[in-house]
Structures are given as structure tokens and as C-alpha cells.
Amino acid sequence: MCQSKKELLLKLQSLINHYGNNEKFIAHMDEWPKTIRRLVFGSEGIMTRLEMLVPITRAKTTENIVKINIKIKELVRRWGIHPFDINNGHCEEFAEIIVTEIDGARIEWGEESESLFGPEYTPDLHCYVVFSDKYYDAEEPYGVDSPNKLPLYHRQADQIHPTTQ
């Protein structure tokens, strides 16, 4: 069934809304239907609107943001264990593999950002990848804006201060 351009544009907007914003939509590029790929990559206007056409100085960073999302998901699949288990005993090895594949990425242990953590955290027990002002680990392939927002640290805080429901 052929879809009209108007139908495809509505589908595109629906997908962007589903992911929450343009950046997260682009990070999930590997999941786009073929019709959406053709629509996006066939239109300079849409690519500009999605901020996919960026100056050369930002292009490599944008490419690597998409690449890090994909690499983390691929590595988790390859290892065949749950991301939770990777983060609880294999985080350093996992992070080392990711930083070797992403230019500009680096490993950081939680203790390096200790001032961001409250007393309910044990930041030195986990390491993660830092790239382009975001923090990534096996459970957070799309990155968060602060290491204390990584799921492992949320679980630590919840153990000391459980939320009531």
C-alpha cells in the first residue's frame, strides 16, 4: 500500500512524539520503517527541521551520538546478559569497549562526580561512559544529563529512601 506524503508526514510526527524529541527520534534511526527513512533522507527540509544537517564542526558529534546509542544496544545484545547484570560487575569492561569505538568518549567512575551525589549513593562502585555532556551505561543507551540519573544510582537511592506507592 502506497502512502501519500501527507500520511507519511503524519506518521513521522507521530514517531517523533513517541520518542519525545528529535534527538531521541534520531537516536532510534535503526528502528525507523523504510518509508520514513526514504522520506527523511530524501528531503533536505525535513533533515534541516530535525537538525540532521548540521555544520561540519557538529556533524561528527551528532554522528557519534547516534553511533553510541547503537553500539551500546549492540554490545548488550552480543553479551547476551541483562544490562542490569552488566552494570553490576562488568561496567568497566563494558565502558572500555564503548570508548574504544566512539571518538571523544571517556570512562568516568562515579567518585569523579561525587559532588553530584547525595549521602544515599555509593558513587565509586560504578563506572560509565561520558560523551557530549551525557552519561551512558548498559542500562542507559540514550544517555542522561547527570550521572546520578543512571538507573544503578536510582536503585541505590531507593534502597535507602524507598518510594511509597
Q: Which of 161, 79, 90 is nearest to 125 (CA)?
A: 90
| 137 has a pLDDT exceeding 50 | yes
- Tell me the pTM: 0.61
* pLDDT at site 89: 92
Rounded to whole angstroms, the Cα distance separating 135 from 117 reads 14
How confident is residue 57, by pLDDT bands cut at 50, 70 and 90?
very low
* pLDDT at site 141: 93
* pLDDT at site 4: 80
Mean pLDDT of 134-153: 91
Q: CA-CA-CA-CA torsion for 10, 15, 19, 24, nearest 10 degrees?
A: -100
| 55 has a pLDDT exceeding 60 | no
| 93 has a pLDDT exceeding 90 | yes
How confident is residue 2, by pLDDT bands cut at 50, 70 and 90?
low
* H-run or E-run covering 87: helix 83-87
DSSP bridge pairs for 107: 129
Rounded to whole angstroms, the Cα distance separating 85 from 114 reads 23
Phi then psi for residue 130, to 5 deg, are -115, 125
Q: CA-CA-CA-CA torsion for 63, 66, 71, 76, nearest 10 degrees?
A: 170
Lowest mean pLDDT among 41-50, 87-96, 109-118, 138-147: 41-50
pLDDT for 14-33, tens place per residue? 888 888 888 888 777 778 88
Contact between 136 and 98 under an 8 Å Cβ cutoff? The reply is yes
Longest dimension (CA), the chain: 58
Share of the chain above pLDDT 70, in %: 85
